[in-house]
Structures are given as C-alpha cells and as structure tokens.
Amino acid sequence: MCAGWRLWWRAAAVCAALGVAGAGQVAAQGLPPNSGLITPAMVDQIKRLTQHPIFAIALQVNNSRHDGLTAAQIQELDAQWLREAEAGGETLLVAAVMSNALSNYAMRFLGSSLGLYSEFVVADRQGLTAGTSHMMHDYFQADEEWFTAAIVLEKGQTWWSDLEFHEATGTWRKQISFPVMAEGGSTALGVARIEVNMTELNRRSAL
C-alpha cells in the first residue's frame, strides 16, 4: 500500500472512531428538543405567575432591607449562605428564605407542573435571593447572566438561555428570566427565573 493510501486509511479510522464517540454521546443525551415548542401562550402563562401579590410584597420587603447594603456586606451575606448551606441549611438566613411565602409559592408551582418546570428563583434588585423552589448554591445572583440580562429589560421583555443538557437527570433544559414589577410600575423590583424541562415538554407535545 502506498504512503498516500496509508495516510487516507489512518484518517478514515480516526474519523470513524470520532463518529462512534459522537453517536454515543447523542444516544446518551437524546436529540435536543425544538425550542419552538415554547409558545407565546406558555410564556404569557409563566409571566402571569409573577403578577400574584406575593411577588411585589416579598420583593419590596427584600429591597427595603438590602438597597443600602455595601458590596462588602452583600459578600458577607453570600458567605453566610454558603456556610449555612454546607451545614445543612438549619440556620437563620437559609431557613428564612426556604420557608418564606415566596419560596412556598415557587415549590407549589413546580409540584403542580408535574415535571414541566424544574426550577423557580426570584431575586431582588440587588441580586439577593428572595424566594426559590430549591436549595441554591449561593445567595447572590447578580453575577449570573440570567439576572444581569433581565434586570435591565423593560416590562414584557424576556431573556432566554441556550438549551443545556442536565447530566444528573438526563434532561434538556432552557431558562427564561424577566423583570418583576409592581402593578402599574415600570421599574424592576427584581428578577424571576424559571427553568423549563424541554425533554418533558417534547414528550407532552408528542402525545
């Protein structure tokens, strides 16, 4: 076999190996669902959730507590959250957030969705967690893209993440975030983020 053919066969073998590996990854993850499955009606339904009075009330209370905080004070609160989370969350800051009315609302909403939504988080305008459906790794959210992109949006606008594969559950997910405003207001009180289980949405659309 001439040198040219030997090189060709080696290249073909490498490509074949890569193809098998890629196919295995696709088989493990499944094909990404079509983001077009999220309809305008579904988005409107998500946004209407935050029109419940508990959102404005909780965020106004949080903002009254946090608007005057310095960067150092916010950093200390975030560090306190991490310490408490590592200790099991049975202390003041984590327990106060996880048991408040806004977190209870988020948890009930996720439960009633029967797997269609996987996360629901609300942060005040300083980026500090006001309510959450699940245990967060940190208290400060203002360094996350979903917050920074949404806090500057006007009423009615939304930010969408790219599709991401969640290894722990084997599902594809997509996040939506948008500013939360008081009724009749035009200034954001905070930001809400909801994560859509696109694998479950794809399953339901096929029924």
* pLDDT string in tens for the chain (207-residue length): 444 434 333 433 333 333 333 334 444 566 677 888 999 999 999 999 999 999 999 999 999 999 999 999 999 999 999 999 888 756 789 999 999 999 999 999 999 999 999 999 999 999 999 999 999 999 999 999 999 999 999 988 999 999 999 999 999 999 999 999 988 878 899 999 999 999 999 999 988
- Contact call for residues 152 and 191 (beta carbons, < 8 A): no
pLDDT at 33: 79
- As a three-state string, the secondary structure of the chain is CCHHHHHHHHHHHHHHHHHHHHHHHHHHHCCCCCHHHCCHHHHHHHHHHCCCHHHHHHHHHHHHHHCCCCHHHHHHHHHHHHHHHHCCCCCHHHHHHHCCHHHHHHHHHHHHCCCCEEEEEEEECCCEEEEECCCCCCCECCCCHHHHHHCCCCCCCCEECCCEEECCCCEEEEEEEEEEECCCCCCEEEEEEEEEEHHHHHHHHCC
Q: In terms of DSSP bridges, do strands 171-181 and 159-160 run parallel, antiparallel, or are they unpaired?
A: antiparallel
pLDDT at 115: 95
pLDDT at 29: 61
pLDDT at 183: 81
Residues linked to residue 178 through DSSP beta bridges, in sequence order: 192
pLDDT at 30: 66
Q: What is the pTM of this model?
A: 0.82
pLDDT at 207: 82
Residues linked to residue 121 through DSSP beta bridges, in sequence order: 132, 193
